[in-house]
Amino acid sequence: MLYGLLWFLTRWMGVIQHRRVHVQGADLVPRNKPVLLAVNHTNAFWDAMLTAAALPRAQRVRFLTRGDVFRHAVAGKVLRNIGLLPVYRFRDGYAQLKGNTATFAASIDCLRQNGTVLIFPEGQCQPIPQLQPLMRGAARLAAQAIAAGAEDLKVVPVSLTFSEHGRFRADVGIRFGASVPAVELFGPSTAIPEAEAGYSAHDLRAFTERLHALMLEQTVHLEALGLRPALAEAAPAKGSADGWQACDGTWMEARRQTAERFNKAPETAQHWMERRETRRESGLLPPWVGPFGERLRTTELPSTRLPAAWPLEPPRHAGRCLLAVLLPVVLLLPIASLARGLHAIALGMTERIIRHKVRDPQFVDSLRAVLGMAFFGFGALLVAAVCSVVLGLRDGVGWALAAWLLLPLLYFGSLWTLRLEERWREWRRPG
């Protein structure tokens, strides 16, 4: 029950936290077979929530996550009921490492029952578009699962990419690769097995290297992290609709290929820096690129010719869409104003807490989603309670009726106003 609630809340909050959630290849993930999802790790537990929400709710995903979040007894029980399993590291204390035995046993039991387990093979979370070296945890888990009876275990590499880490309403892409039999990722068995269910250290290393290659084929990997702003502009996120949407992966692949071009020839970013200055002077760049532009100007790279595949975006005009804007505004203004005000309060409280309390950037997106979800839900329930009292619906049935009617209106009204503001800023951009 808790997992289903978490799945719905993630789908709900995902379209407020992000403008678009691009999903590619979710249908490639096998059903009713043991599946190991290998995901790159950039945004703490929000990565796991988004990945699970991109799959059908019936395909319940078990998550392997850092063990220090299980320290509180109540929190640990809730997290386990949701589907999280703790993985302890040396930094958590040597005594805690014993808990990994139970975690691996639960994961293997899930795989034996044709379940789905999500693991972050990098072993650490970094809010950057760069794939880190992989640990051997995924190889060990696959080896033990095969030895325990899950011979048909499938490994699915999953790529997560964010248009801008830590920015509200940034686009996110979730890309599921083709499933690969786990036995094919192990190298030829060596003569001296070493305790991992018959697989040697050489086999585990071969599995890890091949898995890294599979993930690198579809993950955005930028070696020069100072070029992140240039990457964001060179491969801008686009889509025909907002919210969760199945896609062909055009934006994600363009972003990955652009990162590869920058890796092979980082001097191409110099042209992007020059072009940014031109667009800034003409008012075509949004204000949030200012600090990034200052950082880019300090990067000394030789100039190069701009590839023809990256043209300037055509200008947008507000006049042709005036009717489409005014009509919904007139019809939905009362409920939209209430919803936008409520969301502004929830978002303001969330950003204030993040600004003063969060020191690690990897938790920004995750906590923004969770806190925004909590504040918005509490505010919406409070508005529903006030409305029920004003209307004289003082009994429990009347209050519940008011809540059920107002919550969807407030949610969709808030979402509509957010999108309207974004469209308006785009339309006002000079050509």
Among residues 225, 256, 276, the one where a domain terminates is: 225
Q: Which residue range forms the structural domain that includes residue 120? A: 2-225
| 179 φ, ψ (degrees, to nearest 5) | -70, 145
Residue 220 and residue 327 in one domain:
no
Sequence-distant (≥ 6) Cβ neighbours of residue 137 within 8 angstroms: 64, 87, 119, 121, 123
- pTM for the structure as a whole: 0.79
Query: Residue ranges of the chain with pLDDT lower than 70?
Result: 1, 67-76, 78, 88-99, 187-199, 239-240, 268-333, 335-336, 388, 391-404, 426-431
Among residues 199, 225, 251, the one where a domain terminates is: 225
How far is residue 418's CA from residue 23's CA, in Å, rounded to a whole number?
22
Tokens encoding 335? 């409920």
**Which residue reads 């009204």 in tokens?**
413
Residue 220 and residue 329 in one domain:
no
| 297: in domain | no
| 313: in domain | no
The 3-state secondary structure of the chain reads: CHHHHHHHHHHHHHHHHCCEEEEECHHHCCCCCCEEEEECCCCHHHHHHHHHHHCCCCCCEEEEEEHHHHCCHHHHHHHHHHCEEEECCHHHCHHHHHHHHHHHHHHHHHHHCCCEEEECCCCCCCCCCCCCCCCCHHHHHHHHHHHCCCCCCEEEEEEEEECCCCCCCCCEEEEECCCEEHHHHCCCCCCCCCCECCECHHHHHHHHHHHHHHHHCCCCCCCCHHHHHHHHHHCCCCCCCCEEEECCCHHHHHHHHHHHHHHHCCCHHHHHHHHHHHHHHCCCCCHHHHHHHHHHHCCCCCCCCCCCCCCCCCCCCCHHHHHHHHHHHHHHHHHHHHHHHHHHHHHHHHHHHHHHHCCCHHHHHHHHHHHHHHHHHHHHHHHHHHHHHHCCCCCHHHHHHHHHHHHHHHHHHHHHHHHHHHHHHHHCCCC
Amino acid at site 353: I
| 243: in domain | no
| 272: in domain | no
| 343: in domain | yes
Residue 30 and residue 152 in one domain:
yes
In this predicted structure, what is the pLDDT of residue 196? 55
In this predicted structure, what is the pLDDT of residue 252? 92
How far is residue 64's CA from residue 151's CA, in Å, rounded to a whole number?
21
Among residues 205, 225, 245, the one where a domain terminates is: 225
In this predicted structure, what is the pLDDT of residue 301? 33
Residue 55 and residue 161 in one domain:
yes
| 253: in domain | no
In this predicted structure, what is the pLDDT of residue 134? 93
Residue 34 and residue 178 in one domain:
yes
In this predicted structure, what is the pLDDT of residue 193? 42
Tokens encoding 248? 């062909």
Q: Are 387 and 153 in contact (CB under 8 A)?
A: no
Residue 216 and residue 325 in one domain:
no
What is the tens place of the pLDDT at every residue in 350-398?
A: 878 877 777 777 778 888 888 877 777 777 777 777 776 776 665 666 6
Q: Which residues pair with 176 in a beta bridge?
A: 158
Looking up residue 184, the CATH number of its domain turns out to be 3.40.1130.10
Split into its structural domains, the chain has a count of: 2
Residue 220 and residue 358 in one domain:
no
| 282: in domain | no
| 124: in domain | yes
In this predicted structure, what is the pLDDT of residue 215? 95
What is the tens place of the pLDDT at every residue in 129-162?
A: 999 999 888 998 999 999 888 889 999 999 999 9
Amino acid at site 249: G
Residue 212 and residue 355 in one domain:
no
Residue 340 and residue 221 in one domain:
no
Residue 216 and residue 323 in one domain:
no
How far is residue 264's CA from residue 252's CA, in Å, rounded to a whole number?
19
In this predicted structure, what is the pLDDT of residue 306? 33
